[in-house]
Amino acid sequence: MKIIQANQSYRYAIIELLKTEKLPVDDLPGNLDHFFVAIINDVVVGAIGLEHYPPLGLLRSMIVHKDYRNQKIAAALVQALEKHATGLNVHSIYLLTETASTWFDTKNYQRVERTEVPDAIKQSTEFSSVCPVSAIVMKKSL
């Protein structure tokens, strides 16, 4: 497996992966500079992205194809994203999840109240309209 920074040539594969798990694709940024993909045998099996709101980040679109789960791919994607975020001088990463909060607990993300989220993150489409208000908000300081 290799984790690489995504580019436009991976856009279709990322969208198809997200659709398989009914994750949002309509607000996927036109520029994939802050996205990474996991590749096995020339096939995209995972993806993750960061929306950058200096000095903050919003982790989004983390997905691993169901046939490749439990192989530490998600952990490698998060690690690559956090390293990239550190290089961008991101101080804190936020995320919204309905299904993976327990997994993110193991990666040192802390649950926070929606009221504690900075305005820049609240104004993202992910936060303001795409994810339901029932989604759990988490934060990790880098």
Domain residue limits, the chain: 2-141
Task: Calculate the alpha carbon distances from 140 to 14, 54, 92 in Å.
Answer: 24, 15, 6
DSSP state of 62: E
Residue 25 near residue 47, CB atoms below 8 Å: no
- The CATH code that applies to domain 2-141 is 3.40.630.30
Over range 19-48, report the average pLDDT: 93
Q: Give the pLDDT of residue 30.
A: 87
Q: Which of 74-78, 128-132, 136-140 has the lowest mean pLDDT?
A: 128-132
pTM for the structure as a whole: 0.93
Taking the mean position of all CA atoms in its chain, how far away is CA 114? 18
Report whether the peptide linkage leading into residue 24 is cis, meaning its omega lies within 30 degrees of zero: no
Average pLDDT, the chain: 94
Over range 110-136, report the average pLDDT: 87
On the question of pLDDT at 101 being above 80, the answer is yes
On the question of pLDDT at 132 being above 80, the answer is no
